[in-house]
Amino acid sequence: MNQTDFTLLILASGRGTRMGGPKALLPWTHGDRIVAAHAHLAQQLGGQAVVVARASVLRTIRPSLPHVRMIPSSAPGCWGPAGSIMAAARAGALAHSPWTLITPVDAVPVEQPTLQRLLDSRSPRAQAVRPRFEGKGGHPVLVRTQIIMNVYLEQGPTPLRDVLRALVVVDVPMLDPRVIADLNTPEAYRAWTGREPRFEAILSDSVTIDKNGGFD
């Protein structure tokens, strides 16, 4: 990867039990899956995108996202999103950018001006930048990459909320309700899209992925 201003880390290793399938594969707008909507937003603003997911999901999305780095995760489910962040840190996928944006794949993709405002709110003093809507913190969260590397390489799968408590965080009020919206359930998906969630067949988790995001 070339050096860029920021990397968007998309956390997609959950099995989507409540949704009925891997949420990375949910259809979104203009024929895109939701994972592609997140990635394309970052790329439009000059950033790079990294997806952490199970091997089967990565194998399925790879053809439509050739410029996105894919990191397989086999972290225990009890680690939650922290396991995916640690997988990306250990793979060196974040080291090419001074800042890392972190979003769960089931967060509703924000509007481009929202993401730009978040990026513009960085300062020499800030260690992290977080959007807020009506007093609630949301996603994506922007964190200095060196902090992510230090925590997740030295301390293990620490919940991001615990990491943020120890940092100088700039909270940015937003007018975009998407920053606090998620798609945890079929009901939430229907509310945002007007459609039923559907999932294509995916390939086996036995597929292996090399350290550079290619497939064996």
pLDDT by residue, tens only, the chain of 216 residues: 456 899 999 999 987 788 888 999 999 987 789 999 999 999 999 999 999 999 999 999 999 999 999 999 988 888 989 999 999 999 999 988 999 999 999 999 999 999 999 999 999 999 999 999 999 999 999 999 999 999 999 988 999 999 999 999 999 999 999 999 999 899 999 999 998 998 765 544 444 434 444 433
β-strands 69-72, 48-53 pairing: parallel
Tokens of 36: 């592609």
Domains along the sequence of the chain with CATH: 6-191 (3.90.550.10)
Helix 145-154 / helix 81-90 crossing angle, nearest 10 deg: 100
Distance CA 28, CA 105 (A): 12
pTM for this one?
Answer: 0.90
Tokens of 150: 């230090």
CA distances from 43 to 36, 65, 177 (A): 10, 11, 22
Tokens of 50: 């990294």
